[in-house]
Chain A
């Protein structure tokens, strides 16, 4: 039934509040005006992009793919509706007014009809009958037999196809959730700086110059440059159409204030993106045009990120601020206009029939802080202003992260903690001390490595260097353990499948090493299938996809004069930096540690008894389940459990090093977004005491509620678990729940700052916080197993929340309401 890309989430609590109209308001009236309309809007599927794109593609079959894509993009720019909404300061839209989604039929066109009919039944998106009819008649027929996904599927070996999709062709069989062709590229951030600083005319001039130097029989390189020139022209024409529209509107506008605004908008659109931006407003407008072009060109995992916003926007910001052209309020207003546009664009991914609404969440990651290319701290005035805007802007967009390093000033950390204490989960923290060395390992210079941009969830890209685009997938680690224990049989949705035969029969598993041997073999099968699909995707992407706009803004592509979807040798870094995400690491290592201790060492029960208990979903086996829950637990700085986890990490890394795709070896990461929930729903009980259907563990974290020694112990465990054998281990997502009492007051702020410094010292990749609230405690009362780690923290007293009697729990719940944070 599932899945989506790695970036899928049910509406956040905060969003739900906003949707219900009880959200907070912005201090800026203009923004509140936008919000009033936003709240009741079901996103509309806008078909313009799909129709225009297809129209053009029909006309250009004789041309190389990058020329075809450039012409299609130009066709869209010249014909898409030009819409300026009330009180907007930043203009441009990919699909009309209001909340909207657009379609990319070149990826999964043939599946669109089913998906859109499904939309009409649900209430998460809307599309009119007329529009649906247009898509069915004018778009879908052309893509049948022509879409990227069909090409990919045709290339997959049948066993791999079955491993991934089972009998179907777009869902997941529960073992490997495939993100292929849901998006065209891995997550990415726009290279906005280039256009803001140089202007497209200058970039176009460079392309023309290069074109004059290309030997005139080098048609591929010529095509690259011609395509680049076309998209430059396309975007500049699109901006001019906005200028004309703004002038028209200004001429009939009766409100003098709005009239003046529209006139400036017209001037802005006449100037950018063709020329270098002269002021902050122009730079913001330019950024948004470029962002729009990225969005119209192709779908990117998480939707195109904003990159190092406080760096590339700084020069115009500080110039205007010093000259008195803008004040902080005005800058905030302009930013919020953009945040609002970001929130209005909703990705619609063609996947299974019944989970569209889960696609609302997107991750246009905006990153602050970090280091300059020279290694100095990069914090500036704009950094603080964006943090403030995050506090004041009521929607959860854009996604916000802060890059930290050993030289991050305390003042920035203080502002960051201040925002974390708001309890919205923002900002995420990314650690330069871990990420920069990994980028250098992947082949970057230290300067380029320092300039990395976090993208979407927790991944990072170097925007002029990375060229690897093939989207990966998520592998179900606990399923491999099930196969290791059960002669290669795995149970998904209650259906048994035998996928391999491990070398040790289950009756002959006598030691922990036997079990690990079988696990390694089962994991090997997962990895082989993963590589096969990744290779198929790399090859089919090169055949079906091109991205002239994205390629033109990437130095490596321009040096090679090669599209970003083609293999690029000798330029940039065409290495994957974590396309494979492993799911359920905590579930797996908790299971292994429990088996090692209880079955092989203490002999509390046999492997057969354990298997019976799992089969029965622990019905009638509660004592076994309790022992499993009380076994040594990963994530508590417990050497026993952490060593098992480290061994497992080593196996995962080692097996991944065994194979290659045409592009080289693959790397892995621990970033599930919500796949752990979806996979868990379909799996039986696991030897860590988890019952059938419950979620698997998230990211690199232990299972929910198992980390009972405090957050620092969790950090130390995660540090110990890194096997450090290979460098193919990338992003590790870590969410930590915080008790409001431990962050209360100025002391709480300082303690949390210190904790975050420890995270930086330990060189862990990612960290994000949730503040425990009343709702969490109520959940804990109902579901104690998942919240065993909640400590009631009072001076001189300690106990676990779930150990308390219900009346005491109620007392604490009622008091949590009044926390002074």
Chain B
């Protein structure tokens, strides 16, 4: 019965080494309650299936143009040999996507059953040799808690290490439902200041911080890694981070605290969805200084120092 549920997934990445121990498969769930202005996976935000257009891949209307012929709803037009998509006319019939020879037109999002995801990841069984495992990320995986809990349960049943990456902005019940099947939870705390949090992510952080406390107290056997994406001019001051660290000190169970330096690699995806990218022109952060800061904070929190993990 359970296996009939589907999850909406926008990517499954193989051979991931930055999202938990060992070599892992990462399942990215679609839909997120936040709207962080630095988000590098904008395709993860909406829970809908979304048509997207990758102009770099399109070979041009002159030599192709199949999509225009296929669209009977006049949602596609031509500009300088490339396509313009008018989302108001589009009815998501996918005809253009099916015909596109270069996959320039494609859909973000695919509904998959647990079996399908399991097959697509479990056949990488060699990866488990690494003591790696599965990580469910997003978007916010807990928006699809039934699916994620059932999926992780499958993996736990065969002894595979399980992890999720969550914003924490969900009902405690959902978090609880999924946490019981997790070995590891990556929990984002973007900033402590509530107002700032609302401004840059669109939501309040009260629930998030409460959930973190409950999680830490209620699941002593789950490893909790708190993560903070460090964004230039938004939360990149030492005090922003130490503030969070002070809060983390109060947690009964914390496995690690990681800082993730901002990068702008998501920009291309904003263009594919014709979304505005507000951080245009903001430079990526120097990794080494963030790394040093991270080590300092770890010391503050009595956490073991980590060797460099090689994030870009």
* Least CB distance, B267 to chain A, in whole angstroms: 6
- A716 and B123 in contact, given A792-B312, A795-B19 (Cβ under 8 angstroms): yes
Complex contacts, B132 vs chain A, CB 8 Å: 751, 754
Residues in A719-768 with C-beta less than 8 Å from chain B:
740-748, 750-751, 754-755, 757-758, 761-762
Q: With A747-B309, A761-B129, A793-B312 in contact, is A808–B40 under 8 Å at CB? A: no
Closest chain-A Cβ to B182's Cβ sits at a distance in Å of 17
CA separation between A745 and B11, bound complex, in Å? 26
Task: Verify B127–A793 contact, CB threshold 8 A.
Answer: no
**A785-821 vs B, Cβ < 8 Å mask (1 yes, 0 no):** 0000001111111110011110010011001001111
B residues 117-147 touching A (CB-CB < 8 Å)? 123-124, 126-127, 129-132, 137
Which residues of the partner chain B approach A754 to less than 8 Å between Cβ atoms?
Answer: 22-23, 127, 129-132
Q: Are B268 and A793 in contact (CB under 8 A)?
A: no
Q: Does B18 contact A (CB under 8 A)?
A: yes
- Give which listed residue, B15, B57, B307, contacts A746 with CB less than 8 A: B307
- Pair B123/A637 contact, Cβ less than 8 Å: yes
Stretch binding the partner chain, chosen from A443-451, A453-461, A490-498, A622-630: A622-630
A713, B124: Cβ atoms closer than 8 Å: yes
Q: How many residues does chain A have at the interface if contact means C-beta atoms less than 8 Å apart?
A: 54
Q: If the complex has contacts A741-B310, A792-B265, are A710 and B15 also in contact, measured as CB distance less than 8 A?
A: yes
Q: Kindly list chain B residues whose C-beta atoms are within 8 Å of the C-beta of A23.
A: none
Q: Which residues of A contact B165 (CB under 8 A)?
A: 796
Q: Does A775 contact B (CB under 8 A)?
A: no
The residue in chain A whose Cβ has the minimal distance to the Cβ of B258 is A795
- Kindly state the separation between the CA atoms of A743 and B309 in the bound complex, as whole angstroms: 9
Query: A759: nearest residue on chain B (CB-CB)?
Result: B126
Give B269's nearest chain A residue, CB to CB: A799
Q: What's the dominant secondary structure at chain A's contact region?
A: helix
A762 and B126 in contact, given A712-B14, A712-B23 (Cβ under 8 angstroms): yes
Q: In the complex the two chains form, what is the Cα distance from A242 to B51 in whole Å?
A: 78
> For B101, what are the chain A residues with a Cβ–Cβ distance below 8 Å?
622-624, 626-627, 630
* Contacts of B52-92 to chain A: CB distance below 8 A: 54, 56-57, 59, 63-64, 66
Residues A758 and B126 in contact, CB atoms below 8 Å apart: yes
**Contact assessment for A796 and B15 in the assembled complex, using a CB-CB cutoff below 8 Å:** no
| CB within 8 Å of B: which A607-643 residues | 620, 622-624, 626-627, 629-630, 637
By the criterion CB–CB under 8 Å, are B312 and A751 in contact?
no
Contact between chains at A751 and B310 (CB < 8 Å): no
Residues of the B chain whose Cβ atoms lie less than 8 Å from the Cβ of A795: 18-19, 260, 311
Contact B271 A805 (CB under 8 A): yes
CB of B268 within 8 A of CB of A751, answer: no
Do residues B268 and A803 form an inter-chain contact, with CB atoms below 8 A? yes
In the complex, what residues of A have CB within 8 A of residue B22's CB?
A: 750-751, 754
Find the residue from A624, A709, A761, A821 having the highest chain B CB count within 10 A. Answer: A709
Contacts of A139 in B (CB 8 A): none
| Residue interface bits B4-36, CB-to-A below 8 A is 1, else 0 | 000000010111111100110010100000000
| B264 and A812 contact, CB distance less than 8 A | no
Which of A713, A742, A757, A798: most chain B CB closer than 10 A?
A798
Q: Hey, what's the 0/1 contact readout for A329-345 against B, CB within 8 Å counting as 1? A: 00000000000000000
In the bound complex, CA of A818 to CA of B22 (Å): 24
The distance in angstroms between the C-alpha atoms of A354 and B258, with both chains bound, is: 57
Q: Which of A627, A741, A758, A797 contacts B265 (CB 8 A)?
A: A797
Given that A623-B59, A754-B129, A797-B40 are known contacts, is A745 also in contact with B309, CB under 8 Å in the complex?
Answer: yes
Q: Interface size bucket, B side? A: 35 or more
B310 and A820 form a contact (CB under 8 A): yes
Most A CB atoms within 10 A — which of B64, B130, B137, B266?
A: B130
**A758 is contacted by which of B14, B57, B129, B311 (Cβ under 8 Å)?**
B129
Q: How far is the CB of B37 from chain A (nearest CB, A)?
A: 16
B242 contacts chain A at the CB level, 8 A cutoff: no
State the CA gap A758–B311 with chains docked (Å): 24
A808-B103 contact given A623-B66, A761-B129, A798-B11, CB 8 Å threshold? no
Q: How far does the alpha carbon of A369 sit from the alpha carbon of B268 in the complex, in Å? A: 47
Please give, as numbers and ranges, the residues of chain B lying within 8 Å of A423 by CB-CB distance: none
Most chain A beta-carbon contacts within 10 A, residue among B54, B101, B267: B101
Q: Is A171 an interface residue (CB 8 A)?
A: no
Q: B131 contacts A812, CB within 8 Å?
A: no
Tell yes or no: A711 within 8 A of B by CB: yes
Interface pair B130/A751, CB less than 8 Å apart = yes
Report B-chain residues with C-beta under 8 Å of the C-beta of A804: 56, 265, 268
Please give, as numbers and ranges, the residues of chain B lying within 8 Å of A637 by CB-CB distance.
123-124
Whether A715 sits at the interface, judged by CB under 8 Å, is yes
CB distance from A327 to the nearest CB of B (A): 31
B307's partner among A624, A745, A761, A818 (CB-CB below 8 A) is: A745
Complex CA–CA separation, A716 to B66 (angstroms):
36
Interface residues of A in 216-253 (CB under 8 A from B): none
Return the contact of A796 from the options B19, B269, B307 (Cβ within 8 A): B19
Residues from chain A with a CB closer than 8 A to the CB of B50 are none
| Residue of chain B at shortest CB distance from A762 | B126
Within A676-729, which residues are at the interface with B (CB < 8 Å)? 709-713, 715-716
Is the pair B40, A796 in contact by a Cβ cutoff of 8 Å? yes
Does B250 make an interface contact (CB < 8 A)?
no
Query: What are 30 A-to-B residue pairs whose CB atoms are below 8 Å?
Result: A623-B63, A624-B101, A626-B59, A630-B101, A630-B103, A709-B15, A712-B14, A712-B124, A712-B127, A713-B14, A716-B123, A716-B126, A742-B15, A742-B310, A744-B310, A747-B309, A748-B310, A750-B22, A754-B22, A757-B129, A758-B126, A762-B126, A794-B263, A794-B311, A797-B266, A802-B56, A805-B268, A808-B264, A815-B312, A819-B310
Residues of B within 8 A of A (CB): 11, 13-19, 22-23, 26, 28, 40-41, 54, 56-57, 59, 63-64, 66, 101-103, 123-124, 126-127, 129-132, 137, 165, 260, 263-269, 271, 284, 287, 307-312
Closest 10 CB pairs of A and B: A744-B310, A754-B130, A710-B15, A758-B126, A710-B14, A795-B18, A626-B101, A626-B102, A623-B101, A627-B101
